[in-house]
Amino acid sequence: MAATGRSGTSAERAIGEGVSRTALLIAAARAIESTRSDAVAVDRYAAHFVRAEPSAAGWPLRFEDVPGGDANPLWSGDARYLGLRTRVFDDHLLEVARAGTRQVVLVAAGLDARALRLDWPAGTSVFEVDREHVLGFKQRVLDEVGARPTARRVPVPADLEDDWPSALLEAGLSPDRPTAWLVEGLSMYLSRAGLRALLRDVTRLSAPASTLVLEVKPDSHAPRDPAAPFYAEARTAIDVDLPALFNHDPRPDSEADLVLLGWTATSRGSGEYAGIHGQAVPSPDGTFGDNRFVFARKPTVPLPRLTGPDAQR
């Protein structure tokens, strides 16, 4: 059962409010990335989402419309990180699916269009968990543009502060089959206890051979410098105050937590992927440059337990 005090506020009722609004920011970044000549990820749905939200009117959606181009503190540099992250997780999820996993869960899916744009193997189900108003907005836009999913797409309206595991099971997730979990762009909004509870819930629902990828901020990111150019511009230009939305608890060591929960886990700096995709390392100015990706796998033969009476000796 989920812990309370996780992220945002249950009072949010519209995509343009609170943490939900960050899904629009990411969609805009993906739209812009898609139009760059050196794009690492292409998402043809992203611009439709932003266009459909009146409070995002005027946001640039093509690189050629970004004021100042590569010098723009909001829509270049750090925003390119969002394109890079999209590509790394696209590649990872497709690899896992092609290796045989047929259930994918996008935790806090927001306006993620992977269920519509990736070339999934036949028989793949993609579950999208997010708040009802976010998934409602998303569905309306997808219906308007006549979108056709490339997998069985299953929206799961649920609040991560409530009993979302039951909602997922009711929606058809089988805990007896391997699942590929994606937790992208969420952990920074969760309390320390909330993030740990989320990983426990995910573990309970995960059969052997399940995988998890989780984006985290290291504890050194603590101040989330509100004066950093990306954050300052996001506040003034599009009314998204990320440092105010982030949870300021000390960050847990999620890689270690996952190992204690019985997973094998490793983490990589996001910058390691920048070079592979021909990008500059995202700026280390207190925004995205130090984000890490934790990759975990639930072994088919359980590892010896690290907790319990034996561990106390």
Residues that bind ligand SAM (CB under 6 A): 6-8, 19-20, 22-23, 26, 108-112, 130-131, 134, 159-161, 184-186, 189
What's the token pair of residue 212?
């998890």
Alpha-carbon distance values, 293 to 67, 267, 271 (Å): 31, 5, 10
49 or 263, CB closer to ligand SAM? Answer: 49
162 or 285, CB closer to ligand SAM? Answer: 162
233 or 260, CB closer to ligand SAM? Answer: 233
SS3 of residue 192 by DSSP: helix
Minimum distance, C-beta of residue 198 to ligand SAM, in the bound complex (Å): 10
243 or 262, CB closer to ligand SAM? Answer: 243
The partner residues of 106 in beta bridges, in order of sequence, read 128, 182
Minimum distance, C-beta of residue 155 to ligand SAM, in the bound complex (Å): 12
What's the token pair of residue 96?
């896992």
10 or 264, CB closer to ligand SAM? Answer: 10
CB atoms within 10 A of CB 266: 12
Residue type at 62 in one-letter notation:
R
Minimum distance, C-beta of residue 135 to ligand SAM, in the bound complex (Å): 9
Nearest to 126 by CA among 149, 103, 109: 103
Minimum distance, C-beta of residue 113 to ligand SAM, in the bound complex (Å): 9
Burial 9-39 (b: 16+ CB within 10 A, else e): eeebeebbebbbbbbbbbbbbbbbbbbbeeb
188 or 262, CB closer to ligand SAM? Answer: 188
| List of residues 6+ apart from 227 with CB closer than 8 A | none
Question: SS3 breakdown of the chain: % helix, strand, coil, rounded to 5?
Answer: 40, 15, 45
Minimum distance, C-beta of residue 2 to ligand SAM, in the bound complex (Å): 9
Minimum distance, C-beta of residue 23 to ligand SAM, in the bound complex (Å): 4
